[in-house]
Chain A
Amino acid sequence: MYYRRTLTEAQINQQLLGTVLTTPLWWIVLFSILGIVVAGTVGVVGWMFNQGLGVTGLRQPVFWGFFITNFIFWVGISHAGVMISAILRLSQAEWRRPMVRAAETMTVFALMASLTMPLVHAGRPWRIFYWVFPYDWARGIWPDVRSPLVWDPIAITTYLTSSILFVYTALIPDLAIIRDRSTGWRKSVYGVLALGWHGNPRQWKIQGFAGILLSALILPVFVSVHSIVSWDFSVSLVPSWHVTIFAPYFVIGAVLSGVSAVVTLMIVMRKLYKLENFIWEEHIDALARLLIVVAMAWMFLFWLDLVFALWLKEEQEITVWNLRMFEPPWSWLFFIFFMFSYVIPVSLWMFRSVRRSFTWMLWTSLLVNVGMFLERFLIIVPALMRKGPQTFTYATYRPSPVEFIIIFGTIALVCFLLLVFSKFFPLIPLWEEKEGQLLMDEVKVGNVYVPAMVKEH
């Protein structure tokens, strides 16, 4: 990693606390626009609840459509936070510093967005509480732990709780910085949140250990969450779903979409918050290299899924794959998915100039996520559309405008929450940046100075 600029602690505070200590006009404009979109989406959801799920495109036999696709999509995006933060923290990768906080925060908000989807999909969400509580207490009927649908809320709640605690623990030193820079009631609030942090060696030591320990603990949770989501599918007997590879395939796909989302977020943040001193070409380059590896691993698993699906030569299995790959309009979607999430971006990322271009990386990372949304859609819908023994029609699924609005609404929701978060907390960890600068050094080899880091022995 090539550190080019040296900033003082005061300069880092000033540059990274810009939107926390003041409120720029663009923030108010963006807040209003996104707020209106989110409010509108809530209205549409309310209308749908009032009218019933008939206003969606869900018809027999396709009862899982855009909402469940979107649920998996956001759980997938949420995998970025831990992937970046925990793995890079454990491997002590220096280039992690500017991106960990934003990635972890995105995890939290993406998970929140994903949790809304099963509720929306239920059509009568209040009944969920009715199903769960009165029955249990009154008649002793408990949720059946043998059903994978019970595993999901447990796994996601665990992951959400862990992610929030992960974000908060690493935020404490920064809260102390804001406490010391603010006045009035804000000082009191940040003072409470900072818990009386002094920054003595004991606290820093524990903070360092906490980063490693929580990373090590949250990693197995991160792997389990999307695996459990995948088992919703694979423990059923639906052709093309009942496959053993779904768990790692979902996890790697989630990492691909999540890390791509981090790239998008970093580039947008850099532009909006003027973070040129912190987010460099080298960071995006490092992420792109990581993405190449992840994309290739994902493609290997996709290929295994396909080969092993076909090799038993079961008719229903072949029908679903045939539908996905060769029958329009699914074949068109399949083509777009394949090109967007693998062929185009991976080919482009092979070039150093693309990896170091913010514009190219913005668009390729967005392409990946369009492709990955389609990937989830193609896993779900064609598999349900097949004409099975109990199914009388080939009824197709066409998402209605209501579903489109709700999908875009969740994107607006995550952006909105990130925007609100950035008003109160810095998106780049100040203390990690300062530590990075402190440990930065150079070693002279011959006539050149090679960038180096101080390592504790």
Chain B
Amino acid sequence: MANTQLLGLFEEPQKVADAMGELKSAGFPVEDLDIYSGSPFPEGAFGEHEAEHRLFMFPLVGALIGFAIGLLWTAGTQISYPLITGGKPILSIPPMTIIMYENTMLGAILFTVLGVLFESRLPKRDLGLYDERITEGFIGLYVDCPEERASAAESVLASNGAEEIKKA
């Protein structure tokens, strides 16, 4: 059976927390509830599902790739044209270190940004059920539930003071 999506718009954060608590008590799985807000609240402020992520792995992978590229580039160019300059050895490790370092950091940063996008589940083509007032202070409580439970969810949202309830 198809699911129904609901978005309750609230002005008061406390009401969102109360509605969230009531929905969870009513048996709505916390993974199917989401909060949309225009600014970050402390984690768990609404009693929401706490997201797991592996963002920290991304810079490590990026750093390794960057380091490898740096190593190949610096070692490769020196070996492919073995000209002694300034009395330094053909494979001069100190200058290689500097370039490899920069490449390592660049790789780490590029991959971190990729990780941010991936872990934020961005980009998204379609905003779906959303309201522009969210970026003006309203808080959206999003419910994804089976069709037959939609009216129960709607009544929880309404009884906790939702200014408007959108459905999809």
Contacts and interface: CB of A to CB of B under 8 A. Distances in A.
Contacts of A144: 83, 85
Contacts of A122: none
B109 A431 contact: no
A142 B77 contact: yes
A228 interface: yes
B53 interface: yes
A200 interface: yes
A216 B49 CA distance: 27
Contacts of B119: 202, 206
Contact of B124 (A141, A195, A207, A438): A195
A105 B146 CA distance: 47
Given A196-B123, A196-B126, A221-B109, A206 B96 contact: no
A143 B116 contact: no
Interface stretch (B21-29, B97-105, B147-155, B159-167): B97-105
A377 B139 CA distance: 55
A155 interface: yes
A177 interface: yes
Interface stretch (A7-15, A43-51, A255-263, A313-321): A7-15
Nearest to B134: A199
Given A143-B77, A195-B123, A224-B101, A181 B135 contact: yes
B18 interface: no
Given A217-B59, A434-B38, A195 B117 contact: yes
Contacts of B41: 201, 204, 438
Interface in A411-441: 431, 434-435, 438-439
Nearest to B122: A195
B113 interface: yes
A232 to B, nearest CB: 12
Contact of A142 (B49, B80, B109): B80
Nearest to A142: B77
A144 B106 CA distance: 21
Given A146-B88, A213-B55, A213-B56, A456 B42 contact: yes
A162 interface: yes
B120 interface: yes
Contact of A202 (B85, B117, B120): B120
A180 interface: yes
B78 interface: yes
Q: Is the interface of A mostly helix, strand, loop or mixed?
A: helix
Contacts of A148: 95
Contacts of A207: 40, 116, 120
Nearest to B123: A195
Contacts of A221: 102, 105-106, 109
Interface in A38-57: none
Interface residues of B, number: 62
B39 A431 contact: yes
Contacts of A293: none
Interface in A142-159: 142-148, 150-151, 154-155, 157-158
A169 interface: yes
Given A142-B80, A196-B123, A208-B40, A151 B51 contact: no
B135 A177 contact: yes
A231 B98 CA distance: 11
Contact of B36 (A142, A198, A206): A198
Contacts of A268: none
B12 interface: no
Contact of B86 (A8, A145, A146): A146
Interface string A134-145: 000000111111
A198 B51 CA distance: 15
Nearest to B58: A213
Contacts of B77: 142-143, 145
Contacts of A13: 135-136
Interface string A248-280: 000000000000000000000000000000000
Contacts of B105: 158, 162, 217, 220-221, 224
A176 B135 contact: yes
A320 B120 CA distance: 56
Given A169-B113, A173-B38, A202-B121, 7 more contacts: A9-B136, A161-B109, A162-B109, A180-B134, A199-B38, A435-B40, A439-B42
6 contacts: A151-B98, A196-B127, A204-B37, A204-B40, A224-B101, A456-B43
